[in-house]
A and B are shown apart, each in its own frame.
Chain A
């Protein structure tokens, strides 16, 4: 028995010494892949899935970052023009693009792919229907390399281009997809774990909750990428990811805690660096304007003045957040910094003026993640200082959003992710109640804010558009129900030997340029 044990232990030792390291042409990313649902671009809507999908396919345009701003560059369409009506778009398809199986990409595939999104009616469909107002009739093939798309109303060009260039706008190989159609599903089931695109990679295998393996597309029109194989290894626990990147068993760690990220940033972890970008989301506190004291704008303003934003950024995010208090992410067209300072005395004065010198009792609703709980507790103590007694109610996100959609909350602490890189994507939910999103859920039925939002939507001149958003931001801050807490910073731990991560992650949330990686 003892001898057997010794032999076992020895063999483990020997095997450990020979354990394989990551080859030079392979990139291993440790991530929690349990959230992946599908790689069908017409269905995929969660961020990790969407950025992987954006590497399997090309869209008409490609979302990149230039001088700190998101912009759309030609991709499948080598050029485009918009007619004077501001609604009719002509896209000229690039010749010579091949899908990874060697088939050529033509206007036929473009029209099929875009109509497919409308036919399947999966989560991203609202971007085509509600934002662009597309129907199947509005997408048309002119010839093999020209496509005409007519949006339902005059829209700022960046809106059209950035919506069409999201992962949902991916061009799939019509012939290949229809070969795998089942019960009229337009290949939806098959595309869940296969790919039929022309992007830098194709999907080799997806073993659920184990790994996603992508292989380089040798026909990629920009040239085969230097990394031949990208593996997303499922490591759900951030502590495990943290240990594994230090040992060199993974090249990139996707989900780290703020403490771990800070250690890497401060150079305490040899061989690993931190790559970070402004995250495309906003964390906020909102009050329900339809509920008691919050009907009075002075009370809403008092809440905004009472919150200790600095403490929240420092305590909850360990400083890894941007003090941006507008609904627009930093760098967006029309963005202007808002100077928001805590002022307890002024807040108390406003409350007294509104007839609540002794405060009132209120419930803060949020979901039980570590971050949200910490935020809610700080807000609770901030409100106590101006005499408002707040109770915290925790609900799982699924339950919380149900209540929120029914306008059943009093105060909520939540977050909002940007759907496409244009100010319209944020202005509509935060300021226009007719969009039936955040402003509506908080019962802020403000016609002026709604009108400004719609004006900006149709304005073709970016300079004028920027001015409209400037005005909207000021009006919204003074009157609206939202206090933006911060814009988070998104970060990844990357091993030193992995180059190109800064470029690859730059357009993150909308795109992830895997072809930029090399070792």
Chain B
């Protein structure tokens, strides 16, 4: 099968998945026995005002008509106007997404930077001190709640040691760079605004580490298992037998194959970093998409919930698509 045919097939499947999500999200939002308008207006609002606003928003129309309107809008990239912020949902997403993206990129760099070397070392030196340390590190990473790690690190590095800042993306009195990409560190770099660049970097370290740590743990475990698996293969034995140095065997022959499943995991982790950062965003005052969606959930701001969910599903599917394509390029068997 040709590569482009494979890509087309994946794209087609992605469209189906996204449509399914659109439908699912709409009906879940409608099934909840709660009234978004009442939630929006608060506990004190009189019933007449609620009915009036419902009518204005078209929420008293039959469900099927609401559904058709919603799908029509969604196909044009229009998820309607957020009940809470009064702005088009897509505008809100544009505002919050860069912060989430920036955090996810740094987190995945940290996760990969820690996870892969740790996994390799502990596979190569199985049952050594390094291996035990790495396994404890992984278990902690997987099992410690992000909330807890975040607070502990804040207490240590901000409160006690005074090394890193406490909250937000930038110090209040530092002039931020002109937003081009919306990612402060990148914008500061493009503009040559070094003060903002350093400060942005200082601000992102803790939240990125907290987020990245949890992912690094699973990456390390996966790398370890995969490297161990490959090391048992015949061709490794052959390589060893023909007298190649151990270093060369591991880095040149074993790693390339061992890392294929790890690539998948990294792709998936990256996807989940984009939507799973709510708690980290809350502790570190990071103005990202996760908090936007959770705030929307609390007041049942259903255009924002649906728009946000579909957007994240889209990003997640794209990340998956990239992984699949990388995979297909790396391993021709996948195209079958």
Report yes or no: B52 in contact with A121, Cβ–Cβ below 8 A. Answer: yes
Name the B residues within 8 Å of A126 (CB-CB): 45-46, 48-49
Given known contacts A12-B202, A121-B52, A210-B168, A240 and B86 CB-to-CB distance under 8 angstroms: no
The yes or no answer to A28 lying at the interface (CB within 8 A) is yes
Q: Is the CB of A234 within 8 A of B85?
A: no
Distance in Å from the Cβ of A51 to the closest Cβ of chain B?
Answer: 16
A residues less than 8 Å from B50 (CB atoms)? 405
B133 contacts partner chain A, Cβ-Cβ < 8 Å: no
Q: Are A209 and B33 in contact (CB under 8 A)?
A: no
Chain B residues positioned under 8 Å from A210 (CB to CB): 168-169, 285, 287
State whether A398 and B298 are in contact (beta carbons under 8 Å apart), knowing that A209-B96, A239-B151 are contacts in the complex: yes
Whether the Cβ atoms of B292 and A209 lie closer than 8 Å is: yes
> A398 touches which one: B167, B199, B285, B299 (CB < 8 A)?
B299
* Cβ contacts B84-121/A at 8 Å (1 or 0 each): 11110000100110000000000000000000000000
Q: Which residue of A lies closest to B56 (CB)?
A: A121
Cβ contacts under 8 Å, B245 to chain A: none
| Complexed CA–CA distance, A231 and B32 (Å) | 38
A210 to B182: give the CA distance in the assembly, Å: 13
Q: Is the CB of B166 within 8 A of A247?
A: yes
Q: Is A267 an interface residue (CB 8 A)?
A: no
Number of chain A interface residues as a range = 35 or more
- Within 8 Å CB of B222, what residues of A? none
Task: Please determine whether B285 and A402 come into contact, CB atoms closer than 8 angstroms.
Answer: no
Let me know if B287 and A209 touch, CB within 8 A. yes
Q: Are B86 and A189 in contact (CB under 8 A)?
A: yes
CA A215 to CA B39, docked complex, whole Å: 33
Q: How far is the CA of A398 from the CA of B50 in the complex (A)?
A: 13
Q: Chain B residues with Cβ under 8 A from A58's Cβ? A: none
A106 to B281 Cα, complex, angstroms? 46
From A107-115, A195-203, A329-337, A411-419, give the one contacting chain B: A411-419
Q: Does B163 contact A (CB under 8 A)?
A: yes
Taking the complex as formed, is A123 at the interface, i.e. its CB lies under 8 A from any CB of chain B?
A: yes
A156–B3 Cα distance when bound, in Å, is 80
Interface status of B165 (Cβ within 8 A of chain A): yes
Chain A residues closer than 8 Å to B41, beta-carbon distance: 45, 123
Chain B residues, Cβ within 8 Å of A15: 198-199, 202
A398 to B45, CA, bound (A): 12
Q: Are B43 and A236 in contact (CB under 8 A)?
A: no
A48 at the interface (CB under 8 A from B): no
Most-contacted residue by chain B among A45, A189, A236, A396 (CB, 10 A): A236
* Known A-B contacts A19-B171, A397-B298; A236 and B285 likewise in contact (beta carbons under 8 Å): yes
Give 13 new A-B contacts, CB below 8 A, not counting A415-B43, A436-B48: A11-B198, A12-B202, A20-B172, A188-B86, A189-B86, A208-B85, A209-B292, A210-B287, A235-B166, A244-B166, A401-B35, A401-B43, A402-B39
A interface residue numbers (CB < 8 A to B): 11-13, 15-16, 19-20, 22-23, 28, 30, 34-35, 37-38, 43, 45-46, 121, 123, 125-126, 130, 188-189, 192, 207-211, 231, 233-237, 239-240, 243-244, 246-247, 249, 396-399, 401-403, 405, 414-417, 419, 429, 435-437
- Chain B contacts to A: CB under 8 angstroms: 32-36, 38-39, 41-50, 52, 84-87, 92, 95-96, 151, 154-155, 158-159, 162-169, 171-174, 198-199, 202, 281-285, 287-288, 291-292, 295, 298-300
The 6 A-B residue pairs whose C-beta atoms are closest, nearest first, are: A398-B39, A209-B287, A399-B34, A402-B35, A398-B300, A20-B173
